[in-house]
Amino acid sequence: MSSIIQLLPDHVANQIAAGEVVQRPASVVKELLENAVDAKATDIKLIIKDAGKALVQVIDNGLGMSVTDARLCFERHATSKIRKAEDLFSLHTKGFRGEALASIAAIAHVDMKTKQDQEELGTQIIVEGSKFVSQEVAVLPKGTSFAVKNLFFNIPARRNFLKSDTVEYRHIIDEFQRVALAHPNIYFTFFHNGSEMFNLPPSSMRQRIVNVFSGKTNEKLVPVQEETEIVTIQGFVSKPEFAKKSRGEQFFFVNDRFIKSGYLHHAIMAAYDGILRDGAQPSYFLYLTVPPNTIDINIHPTKTEIKFDDEHAMYAILRASIKHSLGQFNVAPVLDFDRDSNLDTPYSYKNLEGATPTIQVDGSFNPFSDDKINKHYSGSNYKKPEPTSSWESLYVGLKQEGEFISGSSDFSFESEEVTGSLFNEEEVEQTVNNAYQIHKKYIVSPIKSGMVIVDQQRAHQRVLYEQFLTNMTVNQASSQQLLFPLDLFFSATEMELIQDLKLSLVNTGFVFEETTTDHVVISGIPVNVTESEVSLVLEQLLSDLQDGIPDSSFSQNDTIAKSMAKSLAVKTGTALTVKEQENLVNGLFACKDPNVSPFQKPTFITMRVEDLDKKFAL
């Protein structure tokens, strides 16, 4: 009987490893950028074409490689960072995975150029699908250039699973930002389809955050600094009023390596407990330094999750340090340039003491004396006023109510009798009985067979959703012009989304006066959106589209309508007037599909009189 178990050829094994290492172009960007950082580069360029599907190129001025190392780096389990198994638990570098370059070379066309500083000539190697095409001597500058072209060219099934260019580009930006934020001392530049997207010169930690995210970021940051035997914490958190709906600007770095940790995130949310609005997420950029032997970074293939020796202590220290920083921010004095200078003490009165006022009392004054004498005081002296006639004389000459005043026949009194009411009492009583609210959440309205109970938030979502969708697809959306245009700042990733959604947002009624790389100027908004709600609506929309923008225009309109309806719908806990309750109920049953909300949840239930009778039956 023939053998069943066989050893896989190297190129097949490399493709299988590539499925774990390279999920999308952003994975290649991460590996190449980390290798450039480990090569002690001070200037790193990232060049992308077609969201990384056509080209991912990283150029650095690092140490470079010798001819032998240039060839060996494409072999499996080849690494310069590990010598023995114990090194796995004492890592000071980043991309140590042995299959990285071998896996990338197995599924793409790779053109690598490298040269060491002490060498006169460098090496150029071309690999296509794990096959070495050529290795030549070339005149090159110091450092390494790694160009990955036609990703997944030999695995079309994997290529078909890639998302749209917009989504893949967003993932590349995420990986670039993580590496750039972790190393503010390195010069990073990023080009996409020939356009410069980021230019980040060496700077401080705070300035690097401001350069990566818009210029308004600086005023949002609160510094955090704590040093203990277990961990040293540095970085920044955002002020509570700048919290967003999305979780985009949240970064943990442990020993200059980006990680994800739900446990540490919970510690931060605990520090913000009671000072954030519902559903809001704070931004944070926290750099943790711990001894390498106290963490295990091999619990996840992408090395983005790690395990600490003492997680409870980390949780407590992080929570306490952020609470301390937020407390310092809240009590810190704020310069107010709009204060009224008239309230300041004049300089000439600076060293003078205020005079104590004197108190003078008239000991002979008796408020209960029989002689009704009004005494007008002037200091301690008073004088008796001239006696006047009794108060009854003021009404001499007046006749009965409704008659003319004697001697003034030109004037008459207007009757104050109420002749009628603006609303008919019967109608008011009937209206009140038509609908009423329970616990500021449900609206109960009687119907012929019993009663209907409406969830006010879901019902309003359905009404607004159909209004927005109709405006975008059938009617021309109406806009209300703003007297003062709104200037809103966003990150580079969010601006990419807004650029892609701009046409659909214009169809809803938004008017964009100006669009730049980090902010938009809005001069018009939809009719049923208030000025204060614009930023909330856009934040919710960007949060809902984190997983990608639908390709078809109808799906885009549907997504935008759902997001805006969720943002603007009346919330549970809001008291509604009787008129508002009736309008909401009538608007719901005028919809094409009143049974469910835009998110396929029931908007109302009905209870028949028979059902109520059964409840009372013995």
Last residue of a domain, one of 143, 165, 200: 200
Structural contact between residues 34 and 94, judged by C-beta atoms closer than 8 angstroms? yes
- 468 within domain boundaries: yes
Distances (CA, A) of 577 to 245, 428, 453: 29, 13, 16
- 423 within domain boundaries: no
H-type helices in 488-577, by residue range?
A: 492-508, 534-544, 553-568
Query: pTM of the prediction?
Result: 0.69
102 and 17 fall within a common domain: yes
Give 56's strand partners. Answer: 48, 148
Q: Tell me, what CATH number does 459's domain have?
A: 3.30.1370.100
- 223 within domain boundaries: yes
Structural domain that includes position 283:
205-329
- 586 within domain boundaries: yes
Confidence bin at 449 (pLDDT 50/70/90)? confident
454 and 496 fall within a common domain: yes
Using a 10 angstrom Cβ sphere, with 0-12 exposed, 13-18 middle and 19 or more buried, the burial of residue 252 is buried
According to DSSP, the β-strands at 381-383 and 376-378 are antiparallel
174 and 251 fall within a common domain: no
190 and 230 fall within a common domain: no
The alpha carbon of residue 346 and the mean position of all alpha carbons in its chain are separated, in whole angstroms, by: 46
- 482 within domain boundaries: yes
pLDDT at residue 124 above 80? yes
Last residue of a domain, one of 298, 314, 329: 329
What's the CA gap between 575 and 203, in Å, rounded?
51
What's the CA gap between 339 and 336, in Å, rounded?
6
- 405 within domain boundaries: no
Helix or strand or coil: residue 555? helix
Structural contact between residues 42 and 121, judged by C-beta atoms closer than 8 angstroms? no
CB atoms within 10 A of CB 67: 16
Give residue-wise pLDDT tens across range 287-303: 998 888 777 766 555 56
Confidence at residue 508, expressed as pLDDT on a 0 to 100 scale: 82
Residue ranges with strand state E in 154-249: 187-192, 195-200, 221-227, 232-238
CB atoms within 10 A of CB 326: 18
Confidence at residue 431, expressed as pLDDT on a 0 to 100 scale: 36
Q: Tell me, what CATH number does 299's domain have?
A: 3.30.230.10
Confidence bin at 44 (pLDDT 50/70/90)? very high
Q: Which of 90-99, 449-458, 487-496 has the lowest average pLDDT?
A: 90-99
Give residue-wise pLDDT tens across range 521-565: 888 888 878 888 888 888 888 877 766 666 566 677 888 888 888
Q: Which of 38-47, 388-397, 499-508, 544-553 has the lowest average pLDDT?
A: 388-397
Q: What torsion, rounded to 10 degrees, do the Cα atoms 228, 234, 239, 240 define?
A: -50
pLDDT at residue 77 above 70? no
What's the CA gap between 315 and 230, in Å, rounded?
11
Confidence at residue 49, expressed as pLDDT on a 0 to 100 scale: 92
- Average pLDDT of 299-316? 75
156 and 296 fall within a common domain: no
- Average pLDDT of 167-175? 88
Q: Which residues contact 186 (CB under 8 A, 6 or more apart)?
A: 37, 41, 42, 43, 44, 180, 202
Name the residue among 126, 69, 132, 77 with its Cα closest to residue 99.
Answer: 77
- 106 within domain boundaries: yes
Give the position of tokens 């695995």.
155
pLDDT at residue 338 above 80? no
Residue 445: which H helix or E strand, with range? Answer: strand 442-447
Confidence bin at 468 (pLDDT 50/70/90)? confident
Confidence at residue 216, expressed as pLDDT on a 0 to 100 scale: 75
What's the CA gap between 318 and 384, in Å, rounded?
77
Amino acid found at 348? S
- Average pLDDT of 116-141? 89
Beta strands across the sheet bearing 604-608: 436-438, 442-447, 450-455, 604-608
Give residue-wise pLDDT tens across range 187-227: 999 999 888 888 999 999 999 998 888 767 888 888 999 88
Q: Which of 29-43, 235-249, 325-339, 400-414 has the lowest average pLDDT?
A: 400-414
163 and 211 fall within a common domain: no
Amino acid found at 60? D
More confident residue, 375 or 21: 21
What's the CA gap between 146 and 35, in Å, rounded?
10
Q: Provide the mean pLDDT of the chain.
A: 78
- Average pLDDT of 311-329? 87
More confident residue, 415 or 367: 367
What's the CA gap between 174 and 181, in Å, rounded?
11
CB atoms within 10 A of CB 466: 20
- Average pLDDT of 562-588? 86
pLDDT at residue 588 above 70? yes
What's the CA gap between 25 and 176, in Å, rounded?
12
The alpha carbon of residue 474 and the mean position of all alpha carbons in its chain are separated, in whole angstroms, by: 32
For the record, the structure tokens of 487 come out as 């200037």
More confident residue, 331 or 21: 21
Residue 165: which H helix or E strand, with range? Answer: helix 165-182
182 and 209 fall within a common domain: no
232 and 190 fall within a common domain: no
Q: Tell me, what CATH number does 126's domain have?
A: 3.30.565.10
Give 514's strand partners. Answer: 521
What's the CA gap between 173 and 159, in Å, rounded?
20
CB atoms within 10 A of CB 16: 12
258 and 171 fall within a common domain: no
Amino acid found at 393? S
- 151 within domain boundaries: yes
Q: Which of 21-25, 106-110, 219-223, 607-611 has the lowest average pLDDT?
A: 21-25
The alpha carbon of residue 422 and the mean position of all alpha carbons in its chain are separated, in whole angstroms, by: 48
Confidence at residue 300, expressed as pLDDT on a 0 to 100 scale: 56
50 and 113 fall within a common domain: yes
Confidence at residue 162, expressed as pLDDT on a 0 to 100 scale: 84
- Average pLDDT of 64-76? 84
Q: Which of 121-125, 517-521, 542-546, 568-572 has the lowest average pLDDT?
A: 542-546
Residue 383: which H helix or E strand, with range? Answer: strand 381-383
448 and 575 fall within a common domain: yes
Q: What is the DSSP letter of 432?
A: H
Angle subtended by helix axes 553-568 and 456-473, to nearest 10 = 140
Name the residue among 326, 321, 306, 324 with its Cα closest to residue 263.
Answer: 306
Q: Which residues of 529-551 are buried (b: 16+ CB within 10 A; e: fewer)?
A: beeebbebbbbbbbbbbeeebee
Taking 3-state DSSP, the helix, strand and coil percentages for the chain, each rounded to the nearest 5, stand at: 35, 25, 40
Domain count, the chain: 3
Query: What proportion of the chain, given as a percentage, has pLDDT over 90?
Result: 15
Name the residue among 74, 70, 48, 79 with its Cα closest to residue 124.
Answer: 70
209 and 301 fall within a common domain: yes
- Average pLDDT of 353-366? 78
Last residue of a domain, one of 285, 314, 329: 329
Residue ranges with strand state E in 248-342: 250-254, 257-259, 284-289, 295-296, 307-308
Confidence at residue 387, expressed as pLDDT on a 0 to 100 scale: 55
pLDDT at residue 433 above 70? no
What's the CA gap between 613 and 580, in Å, rounded?
30
Confidence at residue 405, expressed as pLDDT on a 0 to 100 scale: 47
pLDDT at residue 53 above 80? yes
Confidence at residue 440, expressed as pLDDT on a 0 to 100 scale: 85
Give the position of tokens 């919710």.
540
Selection from 78-92, 110-124, 151-165, 419-433 with the highest mean pLDDT: 110-124
